[in-house]
Every structure is written in structure tokens, then in C-alpha cells.
Structure 1
Amino acid sequence: MQLNHIDLPVTDLEGAADYLQRGFGFQRVHAPVDSMAILRGEDGFALILQQAEKAEYPKAFHIGFLQPSDDAVHAAYQRLADAGLPLPAEPAVSYGCLAFWCQAPGGILIEVSHRPG
């Protein structure tokens, strides 16, 4: 089975959609209502964002973008910089992998990492 999509509530729909488009290369496609953003990744995965008054995720909740190499992690970090987005702490080794963490507007915590082996 292939994961097709995930639907997340956010408190800043436009900010989160813009962040994920500029920082992570998602393309926005037509949504049936204004309170929703449908973002497609280059692999066809759909990240659906829905405007919410509150977005309360469990403490450890996050989404992760696995990269094919350490260089790709650094390139993803640089993409945020090139897009003029706020920069998180630089990539560092954590739990045996190179990673960095950032937060999209609207409450989505994001991990970008490469796990060797």
C-alpha cells in the first residue's frame, strides 16, 4: 500500500501553503473550498491543509522529509535560505542521522533528514 495523502489542520492556511511551496517544492492544485489547500509533491503525494481555528498536535507530532544523502539535507536547508524563509538551526547529527527541524506557519513541525545505511 502506498500512502496517498495526509490532511492537517493549520491556523495559517496561506502562510503554511506558501512555506511548503517555496521551501519544499510543493505545487498547489485546485481545492474545492477556500478553506483548504491541496499541495502535491513531485512524487504525487498530496499534503492537504485545512484552515482551523486551533491546531493542536501531540507534543512529538511532526512530518518528515527523508533525503537520499547528507548533501541533500544541506541543499534542502539552503533552499529555505534561498526562498528567504526563516532559518532554523543548521543541520546536525541527531539519533544517528543528519537532520534539521523547522516549523511552517500554522503549527506544522517538519524534520528533514538523511539516515545512512
Structure 2
Amino acid sequence: MQLNHLNLCVENVHEARDFFRDLFGFQLADQKGDAIVVMNDGHGFTLVLSNPLLFGGVIPEYPKDFHIGFYVETPEEVDQHCDRLEAAGIPMEKKPKKIRGGYTLYFRALGGIMFEITCLAKINLGEK
């Protein structure tokens, strides 16, 4: 079995669409105004971004440790993502660092949702 679909509730689907498109390479598959955006990653995963406020709901307060993770192949890719995020004005509390045998960047965006970018390759991370 493979996880291939996730609905993420956000207040601004346009901001979230641009975030996932510009910073993570997701492609727009469909959009219904301010309510729903459907995107795919080109590898069989579909991300739905929805604004529950438009359906009488509320934006959930995600738990502190809830996060969305991306794996990359090399530590250099983690650093490149860090540079792109900084250039896009995404604030980061800490730079990437070695954590649990990998090289990881954590940051918050889209109303405080935590994101992780990790390289799990068993390589020499040097002074990182």
C-alpha cells in the first residue's frame, strides 16, 4: 500500500498553491476558486489544498509536532532548499543540521505548519 493523497486545510489556497509549486515543484491539476486546489508531484502523489472556512468549517490548529516532510538525495539539496526558502522570505529559526543520522532543515510556513527537508543518505556530513 502507498500513501498517494493528502488534503491539507489552509486559509489561503492561492498562497499554498504558489508555495508548493514554486518551492517544491508541484504542478497544478485543478482549482476551484478560493476553495480547493489539486496538485501533483509528478510521482503519483496528489495534494489537495482546501479552505474549510468556505464550507462552514474552521482552519485546524495543527499539533506542534505535526509536519510535512520531503526527502532529498544529498545534503547539498537541503542547503539549496534552505537558500531558496530564505530568498522567498520564509523565516527559519535554525539552519539545516545533522539529526538522527541525516541532514535536516525544519521551518514553518502557511500559517505555522511545520515542514521538514531531509537527506537520509549515509554519507560523511563533515562539519555540518
| CA–CA separation in structure 1 for the residues paired with 2:121 and 2:30 | 37
Letter of the structure 2 residue corresponding to residue 73 of structure 1:
V
| Aligned residue identity for 1:26 | F
Distance in 1, matches of 2:46 and 2:113, equals: 15
Residue 87 of structure 1, CA deviation: 4.0
Q: Which of 93, 112, 117 is equivalent to 2:117? A: 112
TM-score, with structure 2 as normaliser: 0.77
Post-superposition offset of 1:71:
1.4
Q: Provide the residue aligned with 2:14 in structure 1.
A: 14
User: Match for residue 66 of structure 1?
Assistant: 71
CA contact (8 A) 1:16 1:104 kept: no
Q: How many pairs are equivalent?
A: 116
Considering only CA atoms, is the larger Rg found in Structure 1 or Structure 2? 2
CA RMSD of aligned residues (A): 1.9
* Structure with greater contact order relative to length (CA < 8 Å, sep ≥ 6): 1
Structure 2: runs of 5+ lacking an equivalent: 53-57, 123-128
1:86 correspondence with 2:90: yes
Q: Distance in 2 between matches of 1:12 and 1:18?
A: 10
| Normalised TM-score (structure 1) | 0.83
Deviation at 1:33, TM superposition (A): 6.0
